[in-house]
Amino acid sequence: MSSTRFLTGITPSGTPHLGNYAGMLRPAIAASRTREVENFYFLADYHALIKCQDPARVQRSTIEIAASWLAAGLDPKHVTFYRQSDIPEIPELCWLLTCVTGKGLLNRAHAYKAAVDKNQASGIEPDDGVTAGLFMYPVLMAADILIFNAHKVPVGRDQVQHIEMARDMASSFNHLYGSEFFILPEAQVEENVATLPGLDGRKMSKSYNNTIPLFASREQLRKLINSITTDSRMPGEPKTVEGSALFQIYQGFASEAETEDLRQAYADGIAWGDAKQMLFERIDHELAPMRERYEHLIAHPEELEAILQAGAVKARRLSTPLLRELRSAVGLRSLVQASTSSKPKASKQALPQFKQYREADGRFYFKLLAADGRLLLQSLGFDAPKLAGQAISQLQREGAQALKNLQPHLQAIDGTDSQQILAALELLSQSCET
Ligand code: TRP
């Protein structure tokens, strides 16, 4: 097996700012240089369509994000850097995954739920203004990851649920079609990344309109830094670093020693104008060489296009053969191809199964389905997924005894008796032993 593979996507919506740089680009690029691993970075432009339906903006943002990553030092020779929409295997896999994904799983996705909650709070139709694109977003994201069989996916906290869903889809697919087509990916959450405050002191974010664009011109950068909110203390008056956006941004770029110097200068009563000048110099020092490369790339989109095309060729060396295998596995194949090797094994299909899930009441349930899908056993709600899991393993280990002990947690099902349940449990335990 090859080395660990990292993969992450960047949605091209908007212009990258200093917060994106300190929190994401800079650490990711540093990691891509040191890690003895394979790195995949891509522009998630299909994802951009969920939020942005202005074609010129999608294109512009794709140019700006691609240029930013390259200018900030991403080396396309060392990593695989590509644009999602250049990989036709991604939307194709997205459909294959769609067909093994429960709609209920997607109902629980944060982004969709947040949109529904917002509508409900304002008393309108729950799905008002919600596109199927937003609803399907976790499936597209799973396809992004699974098509390259990535092991690790560096993401922010808000994305962890999506990686778990990708695991679910991968294991459903593997199970259903009887082979380990997909590696189950894991989220990697960087705990101590810098979050920079914006001009007004709140977190730097496009939605607060308080950002400093990463590649603002020198003059623009100076102007924006001068507009950072400070208090009214006069030159000579000691100033506090706590809650000072200026200080925190400086810290995001300076060494520890430099940061200590500024802390001292605050205590000594540095004038705000001088502190702003220090911050400007520090940031400009780091960005000036990159800015030159950025401006060059923006002026030469044909160079960006060529780099991305080359990246797509590299990426498709992996995605094309995998998708060919997947198509055949699901039965989309030449009519003269023998249906042997990738046919699902009969034993995998004809088994009863336990399903664990969460209901709208927030509690955790399981049920046992017969091989033909008939409901045999239904639990009541548990407070934690672990408790539901323990009950399942008890049933699997102890059979009749567990069925008796767990009675208070189980619901009677019309038309099934404990004989049928025990037979199903028996079948399951035999299949685990083989
Ligand atoms: N949804 C991610 C975000 O908004 C971007 C993304 C799309 C992504 N596809 C991905 C991240 C696959 C990691 C892996 O940040």
For the CA of 10, the nearest atom of ligand 1:
5
Alpha carbon of 128 to ligand 1 centroid (Å): 24
273-284 per-position pLDDT tens digit: 999 999 999 999
CATH number of the domain encompassing residue 388: 3.30.160.160
Give yes or no for residue 348 having a pLDDT over 70. Answer: no
Looking at the domain assignment, is residue 269 inside a domain? yes
Residue 33 — very low, low, confident or very high, per pLDDT cuts 50/70/90? Answer: confident
| Shared-domain flag, residues 285 and 238 | yes
23 lines ligand 1 (CB under 6 A): no
CATH number of the domain encompassing residue 221: 1.10.240.10
Looking at the domain assignment, is residue 341 inside a domain? no
50 lines ligand 1 (CB under 6 A): no
13 lines ligand 1 (CB under 6 A): no
Which two tokens mark 51?
């939020």
- Residue of 246, 206, 212 lying closest to 229 (CA atoms): 246
Alpha carbon of 265 to ligand 1 centroid (Å): 41
| Shared-domain flag, residues 286 and 305 | no
**CB 204 within 8 Å of CB 19:** yes
44 lines ligand 1 (CB under 6 A): yes
Lowest-pLDDT choice from 136-140, 165-169, 268-272, 389-393: 389-393
**CB 249 within 8 Å of CB 22:** no
Looking at the domain assignment, is residue 235 inside a domain? yes
Nearest CA to ligand 1 atom 15: 10
pTM for this prediction: 0.77
H or E element that contains 39: strand 38-43
Give yes or no for residue 199 having a pLDDT over 80. Answer: yes
pLDDT at site 432 = 64
pLDDT at site 352 = 86
47 lines ligand 1 (CB under 6 A): yes
pLDDT at site 19 = 94
Number of domains in the chain: 3
| Shared-domain flag, residues 26 and 165 | yes
144 lines ligand 1 (CB under 6 A): yes
| Shared-domain flag, residues 250 and 319 | no
**CB 208 within 8 Å of CB 200:** yes
Nearest CA to ligand 1 atom 8: 9
8 lines ligand 1 (CB under 6 A): yes
Give yes or no for residue 306 having a pLDDT over 50. Answer: yes
pLDDT at site 77 = 93
| Shared-domain flag, residues 285 and 304 | no
| Shared-domain flag, residues 325 and 220 | no
pLDDT at site 157 = 86
Looking at the domain assignment, is residue 206 inside a domain? no
**Contact residues for 5 (Cβ-Cβ < 8 A; gap 6+):** 37, 38, 39, 40, 148, 149, 150, 151, 152
Which two tokens mark 201?
């002191």
101-123 per-position pLDDT tens digit: 999 999 999 999 999 999 999 99
Which two tokens mark 244?
């000072």
Nearest CA to ligand 1 atom 6: 9
Q: Which domain holds residue 366?
A: 353-433
| Shared-domain flag, residues 265 and 373 | no
Alpha carbon of 239 to ligand 1 centroid (Å): 40
User: Mean pLDDT across the stretch 17-21?
Assistant: 94
DSSP character at residue 17: B
Looking at the domain assignment, is residue 202 inside a domain? no
Q: What is the mean pLDDT of the chain?
A: 92
Alpha carbon of 352 to ligand 1 centroid (Å): 35
Give yes or no for residue 214 having a pLDDT over 80. Answer: yes
pLDDT at site 1 = 47
pLDDT at site 426 = 84
Looking at the domain assignment, is residue 204 inside a domain? no
pLDDT at site 192 = 76
Lowest-pLDDT choice from 31-35, 85-89, 142-146, 337-341: 337-341
| Shared-domain flag, residues 147 and 34 | yes
248 lines ligand 1 (CB under 6 A): no
28 lines ligand 1 (CB under 6 A): no
DSSP character at residue 408: G
pLDDT at site 285 = 95
| Shared-domain flag, residues 368 and 306 | no
CATH number of the domain encompassing residue 77: 3.40.50.620
Looking at the domain assignment, is residue 205 inside a domain? no
| Shared-domain flag, residues 154 and 59 | yes
140 lines ligand 1 (CB under 6 A): no
373-426 per-position pLDDT tens digit: 788 999 999 999 899 999 999 998 888 889 899 999 998 777 778 888 888 888
Looking at the domain assignment, is residue 346 inside a domain? no
| Shared-domain flag, residues 263 and 389 | no
| Shared-domain flag, residues 292 and 305 | no
Which two tokens mark 58?
């999608």
User: Mean pLDDT across the stretch 288-293?
Assistant: 96
